[in-house]
Structure 1
């Protein structure tokens, strides 16, 4: 064979291998994105189950409406923010490639990456917005929730992602943040955004007595909630799979540090188990046991690439022990009516995960900026807390002033399904009372 012919064959093989790698990577993120849809099936099930029957469909419909709005908003706004603001509030040149009219923002046979990464990030955004949704059930207006979800999902969290979940994000390049599983920009931001909303939204009618003691308000279908939470856990394997990048030679984290899917598999499963057992031991509550699986995922998320699996279990187990206690403090001492404990699970769970990485992953080198440190992790956690809380409080306060945040008292007593949804969740059950027919007991 002539040298020129041999060279052509080698080049053809290299091109074919490059294309196969691109297509395989594209397929991987396609299925990660599809798997993340199960997170939203889970949110639907567990929130409807955690609601009383009179509010079941309204609790689900608000999620569906927000999801549908969020997709185009992330296309037109969110993806640009991620690419444009890694250094702070100055606009990076890379943002031009994420504008809606850019060549990479549509079908392009030479681009196997842009659309699939945009899709994965869109599902990250939708997941972030849905974290808030369970906390506010049974009294928030669908319109008000949709506005809050759009802002959280297409602006607030993705600004945090640009700062701390980007190869050049300033939290990493300046402070050495390491958060491969997005405990900060997703969970901490969403949890503290939710806290700001809950302060203005207020508690459900009947949640507190005049003397400040707490009444239990039980959802109408605990098994549905448990199945929904398990679906969310399943979906997080897609979420975390989307947090790792295949370069053709090896896997890399979002920060371009080396990693393997094996490390993610070890530590995700150990985290799930640790969080479940921790929450179960302190509550004996099946709802909190399954919420503990989420606590475990979040607690170990920042160091999935580097933790020794028993360490991931221990960090998540400790998270499972403390997070239910923090939820009780929010409820009893601060009168924050978080219907599903999302502020504690996601907000404080995210903070614990970031701080734990500052202790147990300290010294691990980042590609850009200083090595992982306790100080850098704590400072970054504070940034994420403020980035979530301040917009959540300000926007919900504005909606409250315009009467768009909370439904009318009579609507809340009768059930939001009657006002927000034109069909009944359980049409063959007994008729619900009309507006103004008196207060219902907390269990109804």
Structure 2
């Protein structure tokens, strides 16, 4: 497949949308909605504004990933994040939304199959509002993969991976939880996406990092990992703050209405979990290394946010602190385990932050939900059955995302290739993939590392 193939695929999708979009369109005026629901304008404003906040998480991811990686790859990281959102929007518009929220006679427990290209009955203000809010979630799941495969993945191949994630892998599991599929019918819950978005993206990223292999110079001959510092802790920390801010749209907006007063509880729980995750991760690294690690503290905050996302509307503030604190422990241990035991190179720690802590978020909901909001109770409040359903959701989430991730990366490796050459990797992907440097006025040098 040539480098032009992803571009041609995108053009075909747009052309098909232009042809079939106007056909069979429903009345998009929204007058019936207003008559039946006078609060609809408030709900629309709330959901769309929260969607804008989630979209703002994209520059947060770009800052975080770029800061945690080397200067010679900064432009490549930025380009991948730009394309994740753009490709994600187009793929989710064309295919993903129909699979996730469409209907399919007799098989709706498995997948949806209506509303492709937002055509037909999907062409109305309510559905399009839903599409927009869910689209920014889909793009977020794809962006998580970017950090796991940073500094050695071909850009052209990554575009195809982003399409597969947003058009198929994410929407199908999302249908099982949020679209009326079989897991939701069993009682599995995930309020804002610890599993649907974060764990799924993290496990696909794990598959990518495993199939790609480590960066050149990451491990010594005896398997000991070399530290490969990122080029800007300032940029990474700014990314953490942007993500934290955008997360209020992620979690609070998942009420889907502006009149749900749980918004205050969700905002408080989101903040407390992130703060607890940051403090705990900082304290652990301070104890281990004698110095508080800024990067790991930032990842601790994101880990806390990921952990609370599934249960933010159904747990108490105290439980949120506990959930965030456990996530802070898990992210540090996860980074250590992948690096030192499994020898899987994850440049930004995304597998630990999103995969491990996303799975923890699903389990934590099954433990700490207290029945106050939404009538759902966890293991600590007498409902062991709900906890078992959440545990099943964790297993299904990992098997689906990691299994499909390995398959997709393996197929691409065997066909068009997924990794740049050693010479291109050493030179940096900015030059080899984009013909430019993010910092043309600076000389970039590489520290000596022992390699095989």
TM-score by length of 1: 0.85
Match of 1:51 in 2: 69
Aligned mates of 1:193, 1:221 — CA distance in 2:
26
Unaligned runs of 5+ in 1: 1-13, 252-258, 433-438
- Contact 1:86–1:169 at 8 Å: present in 2 too? no
- Contact 1:413–1:440 at 8 Å: present in 2 too? no
Give the C-alpha shift of residue 140 in structure 1: 0.7
Match of 1:321 in 2: 329
Give the C-alpha shift of residue 66 in structure 1: 2.8
Count of residue correspondences: 406
Residue 427 (1) aligns with residue 411 (2): no
Aligned mates of 2:222, 2:233 — CA distance in 1:
29
Match of 2:278 in 1: 276
Match of 1:192 in 2: 203
Match of 2:6 in 1: none
Deviations 1:363-412 (A, max 9, x none): 77469xx9962211111100001111011101101111124210011000
Residue 232 (1) aligns with residue 249 (2): no
Aligned mates of 2:131, 2:403 — CA distance in 1:
27
- Decide whether aligned partners of structure 1 residues 86 and 62 sit closer, same or farther in structure 2, where only a CA change above 3 A counts: same
Aligned mates of 1:183, 1:141 — CA distance in 2:
28
Match of 1:8 in 2: none
- Contact 1:141–1:406 at 8 Å: present in 2 too? yes
Match of 1:10 in 2: none
Residue 81 (1) aligns with residue 99 (2): yes
Aligned mates of 1:398, 1:130 — CA distance in 2:
21
- Decide whether aligned partners of structure 1 residues 223 and 126 sit closer, same or farther in structure 2, where only a CA change above 3 A counts: same
Match of 2:188 in 1: 177
Match of 1:414 in 2: 427
Deviations 1:3-30 (A, max 9, x none): xxxxxxxxxxx99775652122111122
SS, match of residue 256 in structure 2? strand
SS, match of residue 243 in structure 1? helix
Match of 1:302 in 2: 310
- Contact 1:132–1:194 at 8 Å: present in 2 too? yes
SS, match of residue 344 in structure 1? helix
Matching of residues 24-423 of structure 1 within 5 Å: 24-84=42-102, 90-91=107-108, 95=112, 98-100=115-117, 102-106=119-123, 111-166=124-179, 168-174=180-186, 176-246=187-257, 250-251=259-260, 260-283=262-285, 284-361=292-369, 365=375, 373-423=386-436
Aligned mates of 1:225, 1:412 — CA distance in 2:
22
Give the C-alpha shift of residue 181 in structure 1: 1.9
The range that moved more, 75-84 or 122-131, is 75-84
Aligned mates of 2:368, 2:53 — CA distance in 1:
30
- Decide whether aligned partners of structure 1 residues 69 and 37 sit closer, same or farther in structure 2, where only a CA change above 3 A counts: same
Deviations 1:272-292 (A, max 9, x none): 111111111112211111111
Give the C-alpha shift of residue 172 in structure 1: 2.4
- Decide whether aligned partners of structure 1 residues 339 and 428 sit closer, same or farther in structure 2, where only a CA change above 3 A counts: same
Aligned mates of 2:314, 2:109 — CA distance in 1:
30
Of residues 420, 426, 448 in structure 2, which corresponds to 1:441?
A: 448
Stretches of 4+ moved more than 4 A in 1? 14-20, 91-97, 362-367
- Contact 1:86–1:170 at 8 Å: present in 2 too? no
Cα RMSD (Å): 2.7
Return the index of the structure with the highest Cα Rg: 1
Aligned mates of 1:59, 1:305 — CA distance in 2:
33
- Contact 2:331–2:356 at 8 Å: present in 1 too? yes
